[in-house]
Structure 1
């Protein structure tokens, strides 16, 4: 049963931000799951990135239903493509709710998703960002038999780091938050916007949230996260063969891009983050990546000494996957 409007008036207001692009196949199902929430959103912001299929017609039909339920709508149909990240950045800037939910166009929310996450924020005024597990499903909505956190190989050590207050190092090392399973206080946008073009939006938001506030993880799956050929971002478990192949593949381009992203993070944190330790950790990881770039440019026989220096410094363990990262640097092609 949905929450009456009078009861919602005393609770934090909720904005759901949906970004669409040629998503007519699934966007209708996703939007309907916003209306079947036990706690419906107060505001829905939809930014369409110049779709050329029937997406906008689906959005307009949904808008009439949402308005009939008393939900405020902000709809924007762009005439030129901005791209995935820029479209989200524009749409997020229009959200006015106390709590902001990110919404993809091709998933399906479980009925208690909003209520569960809002309750977490109500219980902890310090909480800035929360994200949950998700059930992975195929294009037809069939359960793939494993969840998002399992596919990410989320470790007990990482969970403990997040919940003990050391979340920044966890999210600096790698992103664990998927936008479709995330919500945050709108105050985070004062630091996060505009979204940088070279970051994935959910990774940027989660990392900044860890720097300026507190993050929590919900172990329950609150969304069906659809895996299909047209995903902007997908998720699948790695096979043993993929793990072995991964040890040898070239990494310099990836490492170089990661180092550039850290430059953008330092620029944003300076002057906006009270915790200098976060800035120093970001610089230290950037230096580690620069060292790994130099290692990748050496012949294999000349890598042992610099890899040992990085190993002795502890930075493989702090900013990578420990021995696995060190072995990759010894074996990779470039």
Structure 2
């Protein structure tokens, strides 16, 4: 990225919308409209209900030409919907920001984060976690951290709604890899791509409110901060709905899919797109042809440095080992 004044270089904001709650959606759009960095195009990607979304956008921001709605009637879910939105962005865009439909940005969010792309391919700020409609502050900061690439593969530190990244990252990140497990998320994939190529960074400034409400697809409580009891309960529920039935192999598959399987898919996909030593090192630890000794060393090392939680380390190692021992191939 050049040193051109970011306020004079138009970037892109991609907002994924699915049946957005009217009040929160309007508030979020107006917070984007009020940004002090004014040179941008906001692409709102409607995952169904195109006419309704378009009407809500007009109600919120009027005829502001920086906002446009891209409509799709086929519902694909937030992962693929963000992918569809990013396909609307040219890879020579100086910067790209992602947006959820129900948060609220501080007016200087883009002015703070975009200049930081001079030193990293992807940058995150912090968010204040607030409940809706009560307005209770759950946390003053999300405490996001910039960690090493192996630690990031194991435990995501980046929420898409908090990030901006260089448009050139799209040459590596698109198309998104496909995965059948519950861990498939766009922000984790984008962060891993950035960590393995141009680097990641965190600005320790609160740049928005992260709004928690009953209709959240993923909430702040869904991060790696879950305790053992919640983790085991989720795995139990996943096994009960597993189409391959019950028993030890179903348990092994469920644990494998939540972490090790997604890491493998990301690193294998990255390896076909980027030929660099850092990617080769990640492949030796997490790819489909990983070496067990390197894997254990990398995971335990990240836990000892406190870059990841003991829970994440255990889920990865146990899931990978059990799936192999019960006869599952590494593609799951």
Interval of TM-score (by shorter of Structure 1 and Structure 2): 0.7 to 0.9
Cα deviation, residue 200, structure 1: 0.3
Match of 2:161 in 1: 180
Match of 1:38, SS state, is: coil
CA contact (8 A) 2:285 2:295 kept: no
| Count of matched residue positions in the alignment of Structure 1 and Structure 2 | 288
Local SS of the residue matching 2:101 = coil
Unpaired runs of at least 5, structure 1: 1-6, 292-308
Does residue 84 (structure 1) correspond to residue 78 (structure 2)? The answer is: yes
Preserved contact between residue 259 and residue 286 of structure 1 (Cα < 8 Å): no
In 2: Cα distance, 1:21 partner to 1:221 partner: 26
Match of 2:247 in 1: none
- 2:204 is matched with which residue? 219
Report the Cα offset of residue 85 of structure 1: 1.1
- Whole-angstrom distance in 1 between the partners of 2:114 and 2:107: 13
What are the superposed Cα offsets for residues 117-157 of structure 1, whole Å, 9 maximum, x if unpaired?
Answer: 12212xx2x4200001100011126142414534xxx5xxx
1:168 aligned partner? 149
SS of residue paired to 1:236 = helix
8 Å CA contact 1:19, 1:88 repeated in 2: yes
The 1:208/1:22 distance shift into structure 2, 3 A limit, reads same
Task: Give the superposition deviation at 1:174.
Answer: 0.8
Aligned to 1:317: 301
- Kindly name which structure, 1 or 2, has the bigger radius of gyration based on alpha carbons: 1
Structure 2 partner of 1:74: 68
Match of 2:95 in 1: 99
Alpha-carbon offset, residue 13 of structure 1: 2.1
2:229 to 235, 245, 248: 245
Corresponding residue for 2:248? Answer: none
Q: CA deviation at 1:312?
A: 7.6
Change over 3 Å in CA distance of 1:310–1:47 after alignment to 2: closer
- Report matched runs for 1:226-237 at 5 Å: 226-236=211-221
**CA-to-partner distance for each residue in 1:253-281, whole Å, 9 max, x for gaps?**
13234333233223322243242332332
Alpha-carbon distance in 2 for matches of 1:255, 1:316: 17
- Equivalent residue, structure 1, for 2:174: 193
Q: Secondary structure at the match of 2:13?
A: strand
2:47 paired residue number: 49
**1:193–1:312 Cα change, 3 Å:** closer
Please give the alpha-carbon distance, in whole angstroms, between the structure 1 residues aligned to 2:222 and 2:257. 25
Would you say 1:120 and 2:120 are equivalent positions? no
Residue in structure 2 matched with residue 19 of structure 1 by the alignment: 16
- The Cα shift of 1:74 comes to 3.4
Match of 2:30 in 1: 32
Structure 2: gaps spanning 5 or more residues: 236-250, 324-332
SS in 2 for 1:58: helix
| Contact 1:255–1:289 (8 Å) recurs in 2 | no
Match of 1:149, SS state, is coil
Residue 139 (structure 2) aligns with: 146
